[in-house]
């Protein structure tokens, strides 16, 4: 079974309405104008889509941050690029990142939810998360950890109801590889140094991961790719930013053995 994992394209643009100047979006627009647009190249996302269409994996996974500040126009830029993949018949799993859930403005929230619904092709919606389903020979557990935060932070939070959902899913038969998909990494080498950017409330999920009840955690958020796995490939895969690093991860899964092998794809 083959999985392709990419993340954090960070499409950006200017403020799209006057209210952006009185909420957090001005930070995202300013950051994009003076920093991100020089580091993130959407052409690399186009290359990623072309690679996936050529190789036709069993599933493609995007772990969030399609946008820089969650504005409708930013989602539209990415929607156009991802449309051929979405319409290809290859299952595409997308969970929003903190930049996709940047502010609680209704039009921004609606754009984020519409993107989740569009890419999921009826498998789930944002409002039905968390969800569990089987694709090919693996079981996927999807839940949201991204919510609007204050001006200076990019925190993520794990809801108690989501933890209970994952625990219940892990209590069932473990005949297939069990893969957890969300935006924030569970495993953080420097949680105090990364206080403004970290995930909170994930302790129980780490225990399930380390106990082997969850075979693989697929995440984004951190822009450089990291792989924290054991000799069987079980653990956590962070894809990094596809548009900044020009790379994504191809994962070969052996379902009967529940083992994984990884290859970096340069775009």
Which residues are CB-contacts of 18 (< 8 A; sequence separation ≥ 6)? none
What pLDDT does 134 receive? 96
What pLDDT does 188 receive? 85
In DSSP notation, the chain reads -EEEEE----B--S--SGGGGSSTHHHHHHHIIIIIHHH--HHHHHHHHHHHHHH--SEEEE-S--BSS--HHHHHHHHHHHHHHHTSSS-EEE---TTTT----HHHHHHHHHHHHHHHTTS--GGG-SEEEEETTEEEEE---B----TT---EE--HHHHHHHHHHHTS---S-EEEE-SS-S--S-TTTTGGG-EES-HHHHHHHHTTSS-EEEE-SSSS-EEEE-TTS-EEEE---HHHHSEEEEEEEETTTTEEEEEEEE-
Residue 252 bridge partners (DSSP): 2, 261
Q: Which of 107, 105, 106, 127 is nearest to 116 (CA)?
A: 127
Q: Which of 66, 58, 74 is nearest to 14 (CA)?
A: 74
208-235 pLDDT, tens per residue? 999 999 999 999 999 999 999 999 999 9
Q: Give the Cα separation of 197 and 59 in Å (integer).
A: 28
CATH numbers and ranges of domains, the chain: 2-266 (3.60.21.10)
112-154 pLDDT, tens per residue? 999 999 999 999 999 999 999 999 999 999 999 999 998 888 9
pLDDT per residue of the chain (267 residues) written in tens, 0 to 9: 999 999 999 999 999 998 888 889 988 888 888 888 889 999 999 999 999 999 999 999 999 999 999 999 999 999 999 999 999 999 999 999 999 999 999 999 999 999 999 999 999 999 999 999 999 999 999 999 999 998 888 999 999 999 999 999 999 899 999 999 999 999 988 776 678 889 999 999 999 999 999 999 999 999 999 999 999 999 999 999 999 999 999 999 999 999 999 999 999
What pLDDT does 169 receive? 96
What pLDDT does 234 receive? 98
Q: Give the Cα separation of 51 and 48 in Å (integer).
A: 5
- How far apart are the two ends of the chain, measured CA to CA in Å? 22
- Within 10 Å of residue 48's Cβ, how many Cβ atoms? 25
What pLDDT does 120 receive? 97
What pLDDT does 12 receive? 95
For the question of whether the overall pTM of this predicted structure is more than 0.75, the answer is yes
Query: Chain-wide mean pLDDT for the chain?
Result: 95
What pLDDT does 192 receive? 67
What's the gap between Cα 88 and its chain centre?
Answer: 20
């Amino acid at each position: 079974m083959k999985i392709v994992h990419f993340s954090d394209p960070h499409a950006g643009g200017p403020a799209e309405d006057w209210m952006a100047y009185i909420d957090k979006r001005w930070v995202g627009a300013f950051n994009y104008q003076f920093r991100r647009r020089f580091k993130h190249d959407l052409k690399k996302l186009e290359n990623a889509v072309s690679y996936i269409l050529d190789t036709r994996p069993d599933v493609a996974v995007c772990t969030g941050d399609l946008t820089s500040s969650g504005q409708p126009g930013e989602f539209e830029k990415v929607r156009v690029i991802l449309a051929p993949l979405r319409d290809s018949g290859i299952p595409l799993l997308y969970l929003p990142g903190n930049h996709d859930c940047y502010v609680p403005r209704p039009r921004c929230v609606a754009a984020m939810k519409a993107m989740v619904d569009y890419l999921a092709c009826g498998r789930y919606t944002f409002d039905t998360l968390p969800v569990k389903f089987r694709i090919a020979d693996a079981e996927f557990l999807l839940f949201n950890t991204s919510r609007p935060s204050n001006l200076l932070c990019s925190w993520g939070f794990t809801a108690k109801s989501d933890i209970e959902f994952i625990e219940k899913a892990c209590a069932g038969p473990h005949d297939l590889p069990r893969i957890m998909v969300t935006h924030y990494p569970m495993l953080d080498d420097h949680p105090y140094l990364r206080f403004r950017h970290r995930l909170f409330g994930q302790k129980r999920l780490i225990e399930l991961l380390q106990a082997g009840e969850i075979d693989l955690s697929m995440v984004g958020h951190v822009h450089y790719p990291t792989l924290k796995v054991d000799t069987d490939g079980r653990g956590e895969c962070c894809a990094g930013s596809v548009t900044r690093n020009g790379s994504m991860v191809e994962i070969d899964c052996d379902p009967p053995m529940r083992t994984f092998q990884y290859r970096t794809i340069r775009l």
